Amino acid sequence: MTSGERLPGHTVEIILGSKTDDDQTFADAKITETLDACGISWGISYISAHRNAKTLREFIATTVLDGTKIFIAAASMAAHLPGSIAAACLGINRHCPVIGVALETNPPFLGGLDALIAETRMPPGVPICAAGIGVAGLRNAAIIAAQILAVSDLEVRRKLETYMQQNTKPPQVHVRCSSPATVPATGAK
């Protein structure tokens, strides 16, 4: 979807740096399915922070006025997209959370670590949340967006709880016990 085809009123806007970022990794992440399961409206746009900086700033201003509350930005290599979105939000005096996802390049270069590091090097006052790399990062970005919205929306909270119960495994707990013979008695010297 391009900015000209966007329908107004998406709660979460997913922006990818280019169409080449919309590959099997994006499909495997099921990011839109996760947002759908939580009852969150979304849109997808492709705008390069490097090649279309002015278009990106204008798009952010328009989407925020249309009701977008959270941005998910997925990019590879230099990964300037999340930071550019955060700066554009500040430029219009809006404080929308920006969740960044590092994508791997093709052919692979550092496994997306270069993009992740770029996302964590934001100056004070222009924060972004770095959700991770690739499929896990994309899915986590959708969950983080739902968690942010669930703070003030009971319906999203209920649907997120159901989604998490159905789609995540509880962490395994391993308790290591000592035999009674190796535990010193109370008061022993």
| Mean pLDDT, all residues of the chain | 84
Note whether residue 124 is domain-resident. Answer: yes
- For the ranges 12-16, 169-173, 179-183, the maximum mean pLDDT occurs at 12-16
Note whether residue 187 is domain-resident. Answer: no
Region 47-51 average pLDDT: 89
Structural domains counted in the chain: 1
Residue of 95 and 156 predicted with greater confidence: 156
The range of the structural domain enclosing residue 166 comes to 3-182
Question: How do residues 63-80 score in pLDDT, each as one tens digit?
Answer: 999 999 999 999 877 678
Per-residue pLDDT band at 103 (split at 50, 70, 90): confident
Note whether residue 188 is domain-resident. Answer: no
Note whether residue 189 is domain-resident. Answer: no
Question: How do residues 4-44 score in pLDDT, each as one tens digit?
Answer: 444 557 899 999 987 776 665 677 788 999 999 999 999 99
Query: Helices (DSSP H) in 17-127: which residue ranges?
Result: 24-29, 31-37, 53-66, 81-91, 113-120
Question: How do residues 104-143 score in pLDDT, each as one tens digit?
Answer: 776 666 777 777 777 788 888 888 999 998 889 999 999 9
CATH of the domain at 142: 3.40.50.1970
Note whether residue 97 is domain-resident. Answer: yes
Contact between 58 and 92 under an 8 Å Cβ cutoff? The reply is no
Note whether residue 122 is domain-resident. Answer: yes
Bond from prior residue into 107 cis (ω within 30 degrees of 0):
yes
